[in-house]
Amino acid sequence: MDTRITTADLIAAKHQGQRIAAVSCYDYTTARLLSQTQVQMILVGDSAAQVVLGFDSTLPAKMDFMVEITAAVRRGAPNVVLVADMPFLSYQITVADAVRNAGRFVVEAGAQMVKIEATGAHLDVIKAVSNAGIAVMAHIGIRPQSITRTGRFKAEATTAEMAAELISLADQMIDNGADMLLIEGAAAEVTQIITGRARVPVIGCGAGPACDGQILIAPDILGLTQGPLPKFAKSYGALAQANIEAFSAYCREVQDSQYPDKDHSYHMKPGELDRLQELLKNAP
């Protein structure tokens, strides 16, 4: 891609009926690979706390860490829409904190949009960040940052009452300045209604096929994740085993003294070894 994709381009895609392909990734190397595909948007998710750091929830992701990896992804993929995930406690304490932290992602990391896991209690945050001139993706449905309160996650909007609440919440997010919605783990019938009503793009993560776009994390797409995947996730590669085999081959060659060989070593210029030996022989 030679020209940077913008939020306006994604809004235009929605109105033209074009689907948006989005991926969550957390590092320069993966971002650089993604930049050579048709991906339109990358989210640097706070799921990095789990995928990169090995925690059992997203909560330990810290602002400084998220800013650093977002900047790395921007260097790897300069032309996609880059969305930065606002980590736990970066926007919940005060509205001023929310605006300041959102601004860090824009100024320090080159993000074009920030994602905020939001309930009705966060409408003032959505509005304030938007009013500060920063595009906002409102994340509704399953919200991983609420794990300590909910204890476990289950599909959202599976009853009429829950569905009506989610539809109303989506409307409120947009009315308060959200430029995009991300809906996670919600009934497909309900997200179809929301997508049809919304004037902004709706990105689904386990939210059915009717959304304007879809997002999965890069390790799941590549088949690097070991163990069961969420119901909605799909692997398009089987790279975990391929990685294990490559690492194992390296270990065998090192342990059998096959690596490094002559071709993978640096060498002195012709004649210099003889000169060195003479120097050493004549050294006092």
Catalytic residue among 161, 184, 245, 253: 184
Burial of 114 (0-12, 13-18, 19+ CB in 10 A): buried
Other C-beta atoms closer than 10 Å to the C-beta of 239 total 16
Q: In terms of Cα–Cα distance, which of 82, 44, 83, 86 is closest to 63? A: 86
Q: Does residue 111 contact residue 133 with C-beta atoms inside 8 Å? A: no
Other C-beta atoms closer than 10 Å to the C-beta of 26 total 27
- Whether 184 is catalytic is yes
List active site positions: 184
